[in-house]
Amino acid sequence: MIDPFGRAVSYLRVSVTDRCDFRCVYCMAEDMSFLPKSEVLTLEELDRICGAFVGLGVTKLRLTGGEPLVRKGIMNLIRSLGRHLDSGALKELTLTTNGSQLERYATELYAAGVRRINVSIDTLDPHKFEAITRWGKLDKVLAGLKAAREAGLAVKINCVALKGVNDDEFDRLVAWCGDEGFDLTFIEVMPMGDIGGENRLDQYLPLSLVRSKLSERWTLNEIDYTTGGPARYVEVRETGRRVGFITPLTHNFCESCNRVRLTCTGTLYMCLGQEDAADLRGPVRMTDDDAVLTDHIREAISRKPKGHDFVIDRRSKAAPVPRHMSVTGG
């Protein structure tokens, strides 16, 4: 699949649920209202749509949420998607998780063909972790990371940089990831959805400042490394681990964008930061003919925009993209 700007679309991110057992302050409001079951794709429908994308040339699938591992029966979907790894059509099946369910599922994930996961941890302070996630417990996530490592899963830690919240911990996170054998990616706050009383202007911390501060203690060597996502990586000489920076605001990554995002309702967003979308739930429920589904996918890719419109608006607290990150799946 080639978009209007000559970029090959080979990466599909799939939100399998909008539900989560955390309520992170930069992601969603504490009193979230979730979708009725009838609007959410069944696991079989998700499997069928993913299969159609693989048939069209997608080689990387990432399952997200909400929290993907709270979806009932999720391992059935993951095991089924593993057939595309067995055939060689899919190069990687992975997921992004908050880590709360990893202790339970890590061994099953590896057995199903998952080899690498992203885990969101913004702080190593248990009290601060509970404040950021509202409902999360750090010890449970750390136990999940231990289980993941023992199962053979490679782990990358995702950390959202939050001004005045965790900006005193970045050196500690780099050192901890080095000790644990994890790569680390810092992410700028993204202006998506109403998050209650929080103001993203107060949260926003440019990663240019983060990198500059890190370079005072660590030797950051430029490297030519990519996971197929938007992060730009350096290697920390002192730890031997990689640190990535995802900068949708200070330096967007649109010129190399190879991905689209499917929500749990079957809405396909061709860009995280744009509202134009395509409905795939309709065709998948209307007919068993995959040719119809494939035609809808191709038409959607023909409308993929050149880039996003993310901006932190100092004049307004309103998010330029009204849907929550948990709906789109990151």
Q: Which fold has domain 11-328?
A: TIM Barrel (3.20.20)
DSSP label at residue 94: E
* Annotated binding residue 120: yes
Pairwise CA distance, residues 223 & 84, whole Å:
31
* Annotated binding residue 264: no
* Annotated binding residue 149: no
Q: What is the pLDDT of residues 301-310, one digit of tens each?
A: 999 988 765 5
Q: Looking at per-residue confidence, does 139 or 330 come out higher? A: 139
How many other β-carbons are positioned within 10 Å of the β-carbon of residue 67? 24
Amino acid at the residue 153:
L
Domain ranges of the chain: 11-328
For the chain, the straight-line distance linking the first and the last C-alpha, in angstroms and rounded, comes to 21
Strands of 267-269's sheet in order across? 220-222, 232-236, 242-246, 183-187, 154-160, 116-120, 92-97, 60-64, 11-15, 259-262, 267-269, 277-279
Between the alpha carbon of residue 111 and those of residues 90, 142, 187, the distances in Å are: 16, 21, 30
* Annotated binding residue 50: no
Residues 5-18 as b/e (b if ≥16 CB within 10 A, e otherwise) read eebebbbbbbbbbb
pLDDT over threshold 70, residue 325? no
* Annotated binding residue 115: no
* Annotated binding residue 243: no
Per-residue confidence at 82, pLDDT binned at 50, 70, 90?
very high
pLDDT over threshold 50, residue 318? no
pLDDT over threshold 70, residue 22? yes
pLDDT over threshold 60, residue 192? no
Computed over every residue of the chain, the mean pLDDT equals 88
Q: Going by DSSP bridges, is the β-strand pair 92-97/116-120 parallel, antiparallel, or unpaired? A: parallel
- Phi/psi zone of residue 252: left (φ > 0), alpha (ψ -120 to 50 degrees), beta? beta
* Annotated binding residue 177: no
* Annotated binding residue 24: yes
| pLDDT value for 247 | 82
Q: Looking at per-residue confidence, does 274 or 48 come out higher? A: 48
**Taking residues 267-273, what's their average pLDDT?**
87
| pLDDT value for 323 | 47
Q: Looking at per-residue confidence, does 93 or 273 come out higher? A: 93
Q: Within 13 Å and on the Cβ side, how many CA atoms surround 181?
A: 9
| pLDDT value for 230 | 76
Q: What is the pLDDT of residues 115-135, one digit of tens each?
A: 999 999 999 999 999 999 998
pLDDT over threshold 70, residue 200? no
* Annotated binding residue 261: yes
Q: What is the pLDDT of residues 153-170, one digit of tens each?
A: 999 999 999 999 999 999
* Contacting residues for 127 by C-beta, under 8 A, at least 6 apart: none
* Annotated binding residue 226: no
pTM of the model: 0.87
* Annotated binding residue 82: no
* Annotated binding residue 271: yes
Pairwise CA distance, residues 191 & 18, whole Å:
18
Q: What is the pLDDT of residues 95-114, one digit of tens each?
A: 999 999 999 999 999 999 99
The CA angle 301-306-308, to the nearest 5 degrees, is 105
* Annotated binding residue 79: no
* Annotated binding residue 159: no
* 8 Å CB contact between 293 and 280: yes
